[in-house]
Structure 1
Amino acid sequence: MEFLAALEGWEPRPAVKPDPSGPAKTPEEERRLRRMISNRLSARRSRMRKQRHLENLRTHLNRLKSENRDLSNRIGAVVHYSLLLRGENDRLQSESVSLYNRLAEIEHAIRFRQFQRLSSLTTAALCGGFGSSPAGGEPNLSSLIV
């Protein structure tokens, strides 16, 4: 930028014209002078290309920095949600284990009750109680035999 500001208002020097009152230039001197002017213009164009390239690189750098910030923010959000989901998953797994244990206890209680019923029916059968169902509505041993 400073370079372009320094060049602002700069005009290339006009080609040196032979001074009619001065000594005449030889063709070799004129060629050297034209070449020198051409080299100066070429160097100026090269500096301007370099400056444009540098500005393009700065613009690209700013775009990449912005994209990097955006991606970093997105990664932060994903990590946050990942931690939340892991916590929820741990809670659900713990609840699953608790429910599984509770179900096992219920199944155990049911089997125990069934065993007690069969045991009481067997005891009743051994004591000669093959009659109708007891007042509690429980089936007798003969209804359990298929």
Structure 2
Amino acid sequence: MRFLGLQPNAHACNCNSFLSCLLMNGDIQKAFIVLFFMRKKENVTEHMYSLMLKAVAEVKGCDSALRMFRELEREPNYKSSFDVVLYNTAISLCGRINNVYETERIWRVMKGDGQIGTEITYSLLVSIFVRCGRSELALDAYDEIVNNKI
């Protein structure tokens, strides 16, 4: 973690573990209570949001999870801490339902926020764009891979 420059917060790490346990046991309501508590304390991690988006997608579907993601995007306090993993989660959800328009929007927003994709990001993008018949976007994503030396 030190090598990557990550500064783990013990309280947030414990809450991530607690949240994971609640979600594994299917208790999404209590997981939301933990999330709201952490938001109130301004101690939310992107990992918490990723966990919650995946859980919402499982319980209520990908469209609901993507609505939750868009709501998070509208909150400047939280959006400023979005990382590439959270964007990957949202892009992955788009791919599950072949929502090419939302995939492209999230990719553009991610780049606009100064985030550089990972191998996972570009693998998701290329797969979704090709599957949805948007080869030009797949080639744009591939060009980005080359330009970013990924």
TM-score with structure 1 length normalisation?
0.17
Larger Cα Rg: Structure 1 or Structure 2? 1
TM-score with structure 2 length normalisation?
0.17
Could you say which structure has the greater relative contact order, defined with CA pairs below 8 angstroms and 6 or more residues apart? 2
